[in-house]
């Protein structure tokens, strides 16, 4: 099977994490023997695979939990 470069487009995003969150992600990635990038990619894929309602609840939770951080970063 041949895949043209037009069919596979990869993008890079940047996120801001506290030192505490980064350390927890690094520990989890190390326990799973995967890179931080692989952990983040797998987490995003899992989130996108969830039914829409579950996804919306997760999004609402994250936005509520981090509202103060987002306010300070704005």
Per-chain mean pLDDT for the chain: 84
pTM comes to: 0.56
Domain spans in the chain, listed from the N-terminal domain onward: 19-73
Are the beta carbons of 73 and 16 closer than 8 angstroms?
A: yes
Better-predicted residue by pLDDT, 20 or 70: 20
Banded pLDDT at 4 (limits 50, 70, 90):
low
Highest mean pLDDT among 7-16, 23-32, 48-57: 23-32
> How far apart (Å, rounded) are the C-alpha atoms in residues 15 and 37?
12
Mean pLDDT of 4-25: 85
């Amino acid at each position: 099977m041949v895949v043209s470069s037009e069919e596979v487009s990869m993008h890079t995003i940047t996120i801001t994490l506290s030192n505490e969150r980064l350390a927890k992600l690094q520990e989890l990635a190390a326990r799973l023997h995967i890179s931080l990038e692989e952990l983040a990619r797998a987490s995003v894929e899992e989130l996108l695979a969830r039914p829409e309602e579950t996804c919306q609840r997760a999004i609402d939770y994250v936005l509520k939990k981090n509202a103060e951080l987002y306010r300070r970063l704005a």
